[in-house]
Amino acid sequence: MEDEFIQRVCTLYKQPQIVTEYLKYNATGGKLFRGNLFQKSFSILRKCQEDNLQEETCNTENTEDKEIEQYNDFTRKFLIDIAMCMEILQAYFLVTDDIIDNSETRRGKRAWYRLPNIGLDALSHSSQVYSLTCEILMSNYENLSKLSEKDPDECKYLALKTFNEASLITWMGQMQDTLEKKCEVYEDVQYFFNKDYFFGISRAKTSAYTVYLPIKLGIIAANNFSSKINSDLLIKSSELKFFCDYIAYLMQMQDDYLNFYPELSGKSGTDLQERKVTFFTCKYVANLCSDEDKNDFINYLNYKNSNNYIIKLENCIFKMIEQEYDSDEQNVVNIILTRAKNSHQFIRDIVLWIIKKVHRRKK
């Protein structure tokens, strides 16, 4: 499906060969989480609409087996195209993030910019691919809107606005993630390395494009078929945003865990070398007691101590992972599931589907 899509859109939009190679190298071989989340959001909400049920009583227990093959050719193509847009956006962020982080590998192979004759041309390739993704998105939502009596420009506008907003928030999150942490006193350290600051990074860097964007695009698409359920309420729901943010927090925590196991993630693990704010460094700072330990951490952030300190820090975090990580992850999952029990049926079903996919993930 992925290769067929890439060949089709690159031919349709007359893209140069390098774009085809970029997409095949970077937009395939992943978990397809974002694309599947978009399709699942669409399917669950369509199930509610088809059953002609109210929001409070929507029954979607059978949607887990609901595959896109059941839809007509037009809808199936639409679902594939938008799902792949989610994966291309992910590829775009991964390629640019690898350049910023100076990463060697991604998904078990050399980072795109590390390939011969690519280098920083990867930035140009990424810009082209981002523009292509916007075109694919607009074209599909415009065609979808022709099936209803709704304004075609409104559907296209909502989809593109959502896409660009999520991209902007993610760029801001990536920037926040890589900002230099200037720390001269321990109060400066506490400002950056705490749970709230880490939550803010995960909300910007992960929530917007990984969770909220696929769900919202699925809602916009399903609402084009029927307005029996007030999808505007779902889109604006603070409850939906709560779950997106906490799921992103969970996934960022998992990514920080996988940073220490590159053999699982297939990505270079350099968070400590880059002095990044992570779930584990925040926990480490919260447990620092002596002035000596606090000063050592300040010196580490300012590159004033040797690599031996990074080794010491790494060993402490490995011990922390061994003793506390499973319970830390489960605590976040429990917060999400407890809140979901009293939520809108659509939100509850999509949250349960996500947790089933990501809980205890090791890649």
Domain segments of the chain as ranges: 2-358
Backbone angles phi, psi at 110, to 5 degrees: -60, 140
Q: Which residue has the tokens 């969770």?
A: 211
**pLDDT on residue 42:** 93
Secondary element (H or E) of residue 110: strand 109-110
Instruction: State which amino acid sits at residue 150.
Output: K
Structure-block tokens of residue 243 = 């779950």
Given a contact cutoff of 8 angstroms between Cβ atoms, the answer to whether 79 and 39 are in contact is yes
**pLDDT on residue 332:** 98
The model's pTM is 0.91
Work out whether the CA dihedral 157, 28, 124, 110 comes out positive or negative: positive
**pLDDT on residue 235:** 64
List the chain residues with pLDDT less than 50: 53-57, 62-65
Q: Tell me the Ramachandran region of residue 29: left when phi exceeds 0, alpha when psi lies from -120 to 50, beta otherwise.
A: left
The contacts of residue 186 (CB under 8 Å, 6+ apart) are 294, 298
**pLDDT on residue 61:** 52
**pLDDT on residue 83:** 97
Backbone angles phi, psi at 106, to 5 degrees: -150, 130
Percent helix, strand, coil in the chain, to 5, is 75, 0, 25
Fold of domain 2-358: Farnesyl Diphosphate Synthase (1.10.600)
